[in-house]
Amino acid sequence: MSASRGLLIVLSGPSGVGKGTVRAAVFANNQFQYVYSVSATTRAQRPGEVDGKDYYFVSREEFETMIQNEDLLEYAEYVGNYYGTPIQKIEENLAAGHDVFLEIEVQGAMKVKERMPEGIFIFLAPPNLEELESRITGRGTDAAHVIQERMATAKEEIELMQHYDYVVVNDQVQHAVDKINAIIQSEHLKVERVVDQIRHDMETYYEKERI
Ligand code: 5GP
Ligand 1 atom 17: the closest Cα is on which residue?
104
Boundary-marking domain end, from 96, 111, 142: 96
Same domain, 159 and 198: yes
**Residue 20 assigned ligand-binding role:** yes
Please give the average per-residue pLDDT across 106-127, as a whole number.
96
Check whether residue 60 and residue 157 sit in a common domain. Answer: no
**Co-location of 103 and 179 in the same domain:** yes
Q: Which residues contact 146 (CB under 8 A, 6 or more apart)?
A: 79
Assess whether 122 and 62 both reside in one domain: no
For residues 109-134, give the mean pLDDT: 93
Regarding whether 111 and 21 lie in a shared domain, the answer is: yes
Q: Does residue 142 carry a pLDDT above 90?
A: no
Helix, strand, or coil (residue 179): helix
pLDDT (tens digit per residue) in 5-56: 999 999 999 988 999 999 999 999 888 899 999 999 999 999 999 999 999 9
Same domain, 29 and 46: no
Residue nearest to atom 14 of ligand 1 (CA): 104
Per-residue pLDDT tens over the stretch 163-207: 999 999 999 999 999 999 999 999 999 999 889 889 999 999 998
Say if ligand 1 is within 6 A of residue 76 CB.
yes
Range of the domain at 48: 37-96
Q: Percentage of the chain surpassing pLDDT 70? A: 97
- The predicted-structure confidence for 161-174, as pLDDT tens digits, reads as follows 999 999 999 999 99
pLDDT at 58: 98
Query: How much distance in Å is there from the Cα of 85 to the middle of ligand 1?
Result: 9
Q: Measure CA of the first residue to CA of the last residue in the chain; give whole Å.
A: 22
User: Considering its fold, how many domains does the chain have in total?
Assistant: 2
Same domain, residue pair 57 and 108: no
Mean pLDDT in residue range 97-119: 97
Q: How far apart (Å, rounded) are the C-alpha atoms in residues 15 and 61?
A: 26
Ramachandran region, residue 17 (left: φ > 0; alpha: ψ -120 to 50; beta: rest):
alpha
| 3-state class (DSSP) for residue 74 | strand
Q: How confident is the model at residue 1 (pLDDT cuts 50, 70, 90)?
A: very low
Question: Is 129 in the same domain as 69?
Answer: no
